[in-house]
Amino acid sequence: MSAPDLSAELMAAFRECGAEKHTTLLLGAGASTTSGLPGWDELVTRLLVGSKAVADERAAGLLLDRQDPLIVVEAAKAGFEARQWESKVRAALYSGVTSLSSSALHLAVAAHALQGKADDTSLATLNFDALLEDALREVALAEVRSVTDSHERPPDYAVHHLHGVVDPTGSFDVVLTLTDFLEVLAASDAWQKVYLRDALARGALIIAGTSYRDPDVRQWLHAAGKEAPEGHSAVVLLARQGFAVSRSEFVALEAALERQWQAVGLRPVLLNDHADAAQVIRELRYVNQPGYLAPKERAERLWHIHRERFESLQNGYVDALRGDARRMKSALDVDELNITLWLADGAGTVVRWASGDRVHLDRDGLRAVEIGFDSPWIAGQALGADTVLIQDLDTTLIRRWKSVLAAPIIVDFPDHPPMTLAALTIGLPDSAARFESSTVMWQDAFSNLANEWGARIGSVLTDRDSGSIIRRESEAP
């Protein structure tokens, strides 16, 4: 499933889990890899090669495949002088990064924290970067503290880093090697252990973007879970994207994944993309409200409206897309392009609803493609990633266009959180490299266009003729 396919049954797992009292949100690497930072294996590989502990990436891969990564990274540390270690970790983490922006998961967590009272949400991360702090500053325009040595929550906004901080300017209290982990575990009064125990004592602990490989977190959560009051759950959001497996492989693993997490006292929720976890977090403040509709129900209702009003909406949307094409030709500095609107149907696919170069006459003949980070179509990827994408096309299959640009479209529902329900794609006559080098020319225009489409699509929800369609069937007259 993807965000438009999060069902009522799945969202029911977050009712009365303790989140209604207090929520602690704990982020792992999946939140930051989607922002362009390396995952654990890539970071260790860079350190191994950089320290000359191994000759090349292939040798590093052999070590990582056959041993505990925590002891593997000890070889890299031993290859550097002691005084170099933290600067080398910093260089490996940010190598090749020219700019950083918070991911959809960071932004969702920040928004959740800022929507409630100051003391109803706590934020923690296993990551070294400060992208969650950046997201908070972006949304709140407020001062944010990074905490690496105390379970206490300061009066202002704060993010607790359970494994320390490595930002482009410095490092603090880094936990990376097996020795580091063993030292933390040996401390009976480790502040991280107290923090997680307090998190479950107050309410729910929601873990997102991690594969739960860290031995200290496993031990601390096991202990904290034994002391947690009834109804206070530790919920782990497991995205297929984090396991790097296909849909069929994930289906084959689902039963085992659920059993193993339940066996260690955590409640697993299986998702498709890291962006799905972001949508779950957006939903947390709404799931216990009367009349709540899960994302899948909202997607189905919006899709139903569009099918019922196919002819009028098709014609209106095509006219709008033709006007948009003229605007984007100027922004992208091209003489021709093709712009297409894709709409999620709540059944795991996104449908090519309208294009600027044609009017569809048959609502049952529209192309539908899978949503997800590994969808073969960029429209499906854009919904799965919740971010703007650009990529070259296979010119052996498509001769007219050489690249395609895609943006997710966010739709607001009355009394519900916003969610990505559509995508806008633009077929372009030149390679992606040309447009990637000139984003300043077109990115604002494209973002504004996506926002306009979000408002246009959402407006059908408030039309008098369709108002009853978004109500639950049980509420219908």
Q: Which residue has the higher pLDDT, 264 or 249?
A: 249
pLDDT digits (tens, 9 = 90+) for 315-368: 999 999 999 999 999 999 999 999 999 999 999 999 999 999 888 888 888 999
The torsion of the CA quartet 356, 362, 363, 369, rounded to 10 degrees, works out to -70
Structure tokens of 112? 């959740």
Please, are residues 346 and 4 in contact by the beta-carbon 8 Å criterion? Answer: yes
- With cut-offs at 50, 70 and 90, classify the pLDDT of residue 467: very low
Residue 63 lies in a domain: yes
- The edge-to-edge listing of strands for the beta sheet with 267-271 is 144-147, 157-161, 121-125, 23-27, 204-208, 234-239, 267-271
Residue 192 lies in a domain: yes
- With cut-offs at 50, 70 and 90, classify the pLDDT of residue 472: very low
Q: What CATH number should be reported for the domain holding residue 216?
A: 3.40.50.1220
pLDDT of residue 206 exceeding 80 = yes
Helix, strand, coil percentages (3-state) for the chain, rounded to 5, are: 50, 15, 35
Pairing verdict, β 165-167 and 157-161: unpaired
Mark whether 89 and 59 lie in a shared domain. Answer: yes
Q: Which residue has the higher pLDDT, 24 or 228?
A: 24
Mark whether 125 and 65 lie in a shared domain. Answer: no
- With cut-offs at 50, 70 and 90, classify the pLDDT of residue 475: very low
pLDDT digits (tens, 9 = 90+) for 407-448: 999 999 989 999 999 999 999 999 999 999 999 999 999 999
Q: What CATH number should be reported for the domain holding residue 352?
A: 3.30.450.40
pLDDT of residue 46 exceeding 90 = yes
pLDDT digits (tens, 9 = 90+) for 115-166: 888 789 999 999 999 999 999 998 877 789 999 999 998 888 899 999 999 9
pLDDT of residue 469 exceeding 80 = no
pLDDT of residue 473 exceeding 70 = no
Residue 107 lies in a domain: yes
Distances 3 to 53, 310, 477 between C-alpha atoms, Å: 42, 24, 30
Mark whether 359 and 459 lie in a shared domain. Answer: yes
Pairing verdict, β 403-411 and 389-392: antiparallel
Mark whether 321 and 340 lie in a shared domain. Answer: yes
The candidate with the shortest Cα–Cα distance to 110, out of 31, 203, 170, is: 31
Mean pLDDT score, 375-384: 92
pLDDT of residue 243 exceeding 90 = no
Mark whether 87 and 107 lie in a shared domain. Answer: no
Residue 12 lies in a domain: no
Mean pLDDT score, 241-249: 89
pLDDT of residue 378 exceeding 80 = yes
Mark whether 88 and 135 lie in a shared domain. Answer: no
In one letter, which amino acid is 213? R
The candidate with the shortest Cα–Cα distance to 145, out of 162, 126, 132, is: 132
pLDDT digits (tens, 9 = 90+) for 258-271: 998 888 888 899 99
Residue 10 lies in a domain: no
Give the domain-ending residue among 28, 61, 94: 94
Mark whether 46 and 25 lie in a shared domain. Answer: no
Residue 272 lies in a domain: yes
- With cut-offs at 50, 70 and 90, classify the pLDDT of residue 1: low
Residue 223: predicted pLDDT: 82
Residue 273 lies in a domain: yes
Total number of domains constituting the chain: 3
Mark whether 55 and 116 lie in a shared domain. Answer: no
The residue range of the domain holding 422 is 296-473
Q: Which residue has the higher pLDDT, 305 or 398?
A: 305
Name the 3-class secondary structure at 271.
strand
Start-to-end Cα distance in the chain: 32
In one letter, which amino acid is 90? R
Mark whether 282 and 332 lie in a shared domain. Answer: no
Mark whether 83 and 113 lie in a shared domain. Answer: no
Residue 368 lies in a domain: yes
Distances 339 to 200, 374, 428, 436, 439 between C-alpha atoms, Å: 48, 22, 9, 18, 18
Lowest mean pLDDT among 67-76, 343-352, 389-398, 451-460: 389-398
CB contact set of 153 (below 8 Å; sequence gap of 6+): 119, 122, 160
Lowest mean pLDDT among 92-96, 340-344, 473-477: 473-477
Mean pLDDT score, 298-324: 94
The candidate with the shortest Cα–Cα distance to 282, out of 112, 125, 106, 134, is: 112
Structure tokens of 398? 């498509």
User: What is the percent of the chain with per-residue pLDDT over 90, rounded to a whole number?
Assistant: 66
Q: What is the mean pLDDT of the chain?
A: 90
Q: Is the dihedral of CA 209, 211, 215, 218 positive or negative?
A: positive
Mark whether 413 and 429 lie in a shared domain. Answer: yes
Give the domain-ending residue among 94, 113, 128: 94
Place of tokens 């990274």: 73
Neighbours of 136 (CB within 10 A): 27
Distances 176 to 47, 124, 221 between C-alpha atoms, Å: 12, 17, 19
Mark whether 245 and 142 lie in a shared domain. Answer: yes
Q: Is the dihedral of CA 344, 382, 411, 268 positive or negative?
A: positive
Whole-model pTM: value is 0.89
Structure tokens of 319? 């006219």
Structure tokens of 430? 């030149």
